[in-house]
Amino acid sequence: MQLNDFYQVLQEYREFWQFKPFAYQQWPWQHTDLTASLARLQLPEIELIDSDKERQRQFFSPYFPAVFSLPELSQIPAPVETPPLPFWLTNGIGGRKLAQIEAFISHLPQSQLPLLEWCAGKGHLGRLASFVQQRQVVSAEWQQNLCEQGQKLAQQWQLPQQFVPIDVLSAAAAQLLQPNQHAVALHACGQLHLSLLQQAVARETEFISLAPCCYHLIHDSHYQPLSTQAQKQNLHLAKFDLQLAVQGQVTAGQRITQLRHTEMQWRMAYHALYQDLQQQVNYRPLASVGKHWFSGEFADFAQWAAAQHQWQLPAKVDWPFYLDRGRQLALHVARLDLVRHVFRRPLELWLLLDRLEFLREHGYQAELSAFCDYQTTPRNGLITAQKIAAS
């Protein structure tokens, strides 16, 4: 699995993924066969293709053959078989989250090195790892109340886990990292896990186990590649582009799915209304809003949206007309997103391989694998690294 292979594919098909679907009421490419196939798809078919890797392959491989020849992330057998955990230790951890933690721990090499848990939250990962592997743990977390809750649980079960309330992006956090240590992070967000990698490399931390998440949550407007190779390739990824890498999700419940559809339709209906009444061509984004809005009336949502954009709706609006227009536009966006989603895994793997190459460039033996299946979490990429001893 080579960084350059993923770069070449992403670069070749750039026009099919590096754009904002909301901003296009037409097709943003010149590919008549693909356009004709997409135009025949309705929402149920789109959802089937989007949620099934094999259906996606069947539909898109004639148009993007290079994507489907890329290697996939392999799930290697866990080097350590985790024994069943007692119920009292896992109480309060959600089922899927618990499965992720157990899978992650099973891929931690047995060692007497103390663990540093980065972005610990309540320290579930550190607490369970301490119990399973009999290791000391330092859990770094900036929210004081989570530190207090986690420390109470560690003391309750007499585990050697110590919480440190600290902003892991601060200069002081670097002092937590030591050479004789194993740094771990399960789903630390963008800038937080980038900071871990950079500071662990600087401190020559012996072991690193990292499952990244939320690549778009970074300080800069565009992604700054870590490795020399990726810097030369630079795809010039904005935060919106980075979000594509984390759009994969496991099946949602029927109610959540329906609310998501309603939200898309209402946002696009408002967009059409705004364009008509304000004589504006460009798409204006709206802030995120609670899902409860989409169980009410479209007119109320439109009033809220207009207030956000600082204009006033007229007394009379043809609501059915704009709702119908919103449905049409939402279907078009869904078709565009279906194409972009072909590239979400290649993009994520390029980002993961950038991190992997960065570690190798700094004297680490580093590997990339899947620590669990996609249904347990779509963010199943695991980077494991060990500092190579100087000869």
pLDDT given at position 215: 98
Beta bridge partners of 384: 209, 367
pLDDT given at position 257: 81
Classified by CATH at the fold level, domain 87-245+343-387 comes out as: Rossmann fold (3.40.50)
Cβ neighbours, 10 Å, residue 385: 27
Distance (Å, whole) CA 270 – CA 306: 8
How do the domains of the chain map onto residue ranges?
Answer: 3-67+250-342, 87-245+343-387
Q: Give the pLDDT band (50/70/90) at residue 347.
A: very high
Query: Residue 391 has what DSSP assignment?
Result: -
Kindly provide the residue ranges of all beta strands, DSSP E only, lying in the chain, ordered along the sequence: 115-118, 137-141, 161-165, 182-188, 207-212, 364-370, 381-387
Predicted confidence (pLDDT) at residue 319 exceeds the cutoff of 60: yes
Beta bridge partners of 386: 207, 365
If one compares 118 and 295, the residue with the highest pLDDT of the two is 118
Tell me the Ramachandran region of residue 134: left when phi exceeds 0, alpha when psi lies from -120 to 50, beta otherwise: left
pLDDT given at position 83: 75
Distance (Å, whole) CA 391 – CA 345: 38
In one letter, which amino acid is 166?
A: I
Angle, helices 43-51 vs 319-340, to 10°: value is: 30
Average pLDDT across the chain, whole number: 94
* Residues above pLDDT 70, as percent of the chain: 98
User: What is the maximum span of the chain, computed from C-alpha positions, in angstroms?
Assistant: 79
Predicted confidence (pLDDT) at residue 390 exceeds the cutoff of 60: yes
Predicted confidence (pLDDT) at residue 244 exceeds the cutoff of 90: yes
Segment 171-184 mean pLDDT: 97
Instruction: Retrieve residue 252's tokens.
Output: 């949602």
Q: Give the pLDDT band (50/70/90) at residue 80.
A: low
Distance (Å, whole) CA 213 – CA 245: 9
Q: Give the pLDDT band (50/70/90) at residue 149.
A: very high
pLDDT in tens, 208-237: 999 999 999 999 999 999 999 999 997 999
What string of H, E and C letters represents the secondary structure of 124-163?
HHHHHHHHHHCCCEEEEECCHHHHHHHHHHHHHCCCCEEE
Distance (Å, whole) CA 128 – CA 132: 6
Q: How far is CA 82 from the centre of its chain?
A: 26
Predicted confidence (pLDDT) at residue 391 exceeds the cutoff of 80: no
Distance (Å, whole) CA 116 – CA 136: 9
Q: Could you tell me which of 378, 96, 379, 341 has the C-alpha nearest to residue 210?
A: 379
Query: Residue 208 has what DSSP assignment?
Result: E
